[in-house]
Amino acid sequence: MPQDHFHRFDPKFGEQGGQLTYNTYLRIPQLLDQQHPESEPEAHDELLFIVIHQAYELWFKLMLHELDDARDRMLAGETYLPRVRLDRCKAIMKVLVSQVDVIDSMTPQDFLEFRNRLAPASGFQSVQFREIEFLSGLKDPGYLDRFRGLTEPERARLATRLEQPSLWDGYLAIMRSVGFDTTDYDRRISALRRIAGDRESYGPLWDLAEALVDHDQALSLWRARHVLMAERQIGTKPGTGGSAGGAYLRSRVELRCYPELWELRSAL
């Protein structure tokens, strides 16, 4: 009988040795020791605020893991697994958007009890989210100069992201591998029109392009939901990091990672 078959039905499977537990594998004690409110006396909703944003950073870590693999596989000429990775990120982004509902359960008055303690910390300083944007194609070298409190390792990570190929570079690599010319805008749009018009021949390429659009759309929906959350909490006040708050967030809603895939719609 195969070993895995035995383990499936052995009531004691997993107990051999007794070294690994749920708590030790997931490092639950260390994880639950990472929430330290700054308010004194502690504001009731500060724990909510901390947990939500730490959860975002964990999801961002997973997204980078998935997007890096998608990009690398596209550079290697693959189409199937990159789409799978992007589909997973789309599902993650839905969770990120829905988590804002939990923040909305906090009233502006409750937020004001501890908001002043946050300055100059700000979501603007999320290195992982900027990595996601850079990897997705929204590369902004000026961000490294505008970032307050950037450590040298963080600066190096972002600088590396600026130099590395993006997901769009990966997609263009696949287009070239099947014979399309991607040297300029007109040739790329012509190639994309051909892909869109002959899905029987280029189905995997079209599906992957749509997965990139899904990823782009999910990021835009997250930005839009974030704007509403910020305006609901602080109105037109500046952000804790010194940004223009809601006005800054609103200015980024229309950003597109893959503008040529959106412009393709007008060319069909």
> Is 92 one of the annotated binding-site residues?
no
**Stated pTM of the model:** 0.87
DSSP codes joined into one string, 148-190: TT--HHHHHHHHHHHHS--HHHHHHHHHHHTT---SSHHHHHH
Q: Cβ atoms within 10 A of the Cβ of 231, count?
A: 16
> Is 195 one of the annotated binding-site residues?
no
CA distances from 120 to 57, 68, 148, 232 (A): 18, 31, 8, 20
Residue 153 burial (CB < 10 Å; 0-12/13-18/19+)? exposed
pLDDT of residue 19: 75
Q: In tens digits, what is the pLDDT along the chain, a chain of 268 residues?
A: 455 555 555 656 566 656 788 999 999 999 999 999 998 899 999 999 999 999 999 999 999 999 999 999 999 999 999 999 999 999 999 999 999 999 999 998 898 888 887 765 566 688 999 999 999 999 988 888 887 778 899 999 999 999 999 999 999 999 999 999 999 999 999 999 999 999 999 999 999 999 999 999 999 999 888 888 888 887 766 555 445 455 666 777 778 999 999 999 999 9
pLDDT of residue 13: 58
> Is 50 one of the annotated binding-site residues?
yes
Q: Cβ atoms within 10 A of the Cβ of 8, count?
A: 9
> Is 44 one of the annotated binding-site residues?
no
> Is 24 one of the annotated binding-site residues?
no
> Is 53 one of the annotated binding-site residues?
yes
> Is 49 one of the annotated binding-site residues?
yes
> Is 7 one of the annotated binding-site residues?
no
pLDDT of residue 258: 97
pLDDT of residue 88: 98
Q: Any idea which architecture 42-118+167-265 has in CATH?
A: Up-down Bundle (1.20)
Residue 25 burial (CB < 10 Å; 0-12/13-18/19+)? exposed
DSSP codes joined into one string, 217-229: HHHHHHHHHHHHH
Cis ω before 204 (30° cut-off from 0): no
